[in-house]
Amino acid sequence: MTVFKTKENGTLKKTVFVVALVALGSAALAHGGVRNEDVLARMEVMKAIGDQMKIIGAMAKGEAAFDAVAANDALTKIAAQSAQIEPSFETRADDPKSEALPAIWQDWEDFVQLASATETTAEGLIGTVSAQVDLGPALGKLGGTCKACHSKYRK
């Protein structure tokens, strides 16, 4: 039992670490000095998604009290914000502060598919979180979809 628990905690820690990397990134610095409004708008969409991930991540790490309603609410918001990825990136916009790679508009169909993967994954997870142990796997699944896009299309 103890062994199982240790293993589970280890996996959770790893997952939370990965999610922290994905969610935090360089977001704290990214917005300063952005001039292009479309770029700013799409960064806000991403930041909103990242903020919800942090809410879930804090509960997963035990930094915040577990709250199933709040966790499922965060998943609902992630799903809704993810639906905004496609429209907010559709028109190509550039800014020196942007971390978006030009490949987005060269491989637009692929980008759109990755965006919808985040949306459907978040949607599928809504209502599945009923205990703190559900958070790690949920974050792992969702974080994987963020990473799939960031690794290809974000500097």
Least distance from ligand HEC to the Cβ atom of residue 4, Å: 29
Residue among 30 and 126 whose Cβ is closer to ligand HEC: 30
Q: Encode burial over 113-122: b for 16+ CB neighbours within 10 A, e otherwise.
A: ebbbbbbebb
Is 139 a residue that touches ligand HEC (CB under 6 A)?
A: no
25 in the Ramachandran plot: left (φ > 0), alpha (ψ -120 to 50) or beta?
Answer: left
For ligand HEC, the binding residue among 111, 129, 138, 139 (CB under 6 A) is: 111
Least distance from ligand HEC to the Cβ atom of residue 131, Å: 21
Is 15 a residue that touches ligand HEC (CB under 6 A)?
A: no
* Whether 89 contacts 36, CB under 8 Å: no
End-to-end CA distance of the chain: 43
Cα–Cα dist 97/136, whole Å: 32
Residue among 6 and 87 whose Cβ is closer to ligand HEC: 87
Site string for ligand HEC, 37-66 (x = CB under 6 A): --x--xx--xx-xx--x-------------
Could you give the angle at the alpha carbon of 38 between the alpha carbons of 117 and 101, nearest 5°? 55
Could you give the angle at the alpha carbon of 112 between the alpha carbons of 106 and 139, nearest 5°? 125
Q: Residue numbers of the site for ligand HEC (CB under 6 A)?
A: 22-23, 25, 27, 30-31, 39, 42-43, 46-47, 49-50, 53, 78, 85, 98-100, 111, 114-115, 118, 142, 145-146, 149-150, 153-154
